[in-house]
Amino acid sequence: MDAFLIFTVPVFSRSERRRQVNPRKLYLADHALAAAFSPASGLDHGHLLENIVACELSRESRDLAYYRTRDGFEVDFLATSHDGNEHLVQVCADLSEPATRDREVRALESAHKEHPAASRTLLCMGDPPPDAALPPGLRVVPVWKWLGSRSS
């Protein structure tokens, strides 16, 4: 019997060789294990949020990968739903720092140039700062709200 404690996410590529050669991201199927084996002071909320999102996306997506743009930026997930729609999803624990917010948005916008039909979502722990200037069409959603809107 398989335990399915972990799963991997490959880099997005139309080339199977590139998918096999590039490193895969590793996620725990039970994200509570990550918290259980991390010292309380060393808990990385960003990685924990990314793991939660990875579990949800893997459950509902036909294909899940991370995405590296030609500009060298990385987006946490490019999820292809069962109807063929693509979704670029970036996860960030804290968007209060302008430099962090700019970095996350820049990665999504770069990937969107290469996948113009894909929706763009930036997930975070809380609401984005009210003064945050965001590109049109980019949704910034707290993870708790995003999870609550998912179909069961």
Q: What is the DSSP letter of 64?
A: E
CA dist 142 → 49, 61, 76, 102, 135 (Å): 11, 20, 16, 17, 17
Q: Per-residue pLDDT averaged across 128-147, rounded? A: 88
Query: Shortest CA distance to 76 belongs to which of 64, 84, 85, 86?
Result: 64
Question: Can you read off the two tokens belonging to residue 94?
Answer: 């804290």
CB proximity list for 37: less than 8 A, separation 6 or greater: none
Confidence category of residue 42, pLDDT binned at 50, 70, 90: low
Average pLDDT score over residue span 35-53: 76
**pLDDT-derived band of residue 3, with 50, 70 and 90 as boundaries?**
low
Mean pLDDT in residue range 134-149: 92
pLDDT of residue 85: 95
pTM for the whole thing? 0.87
Query: Is 112's pLDDT higher than 90?
Result: yes
pLDDT in tens, 67-76: 999 999 999 9
Spans of all domains in the chain: 6-148
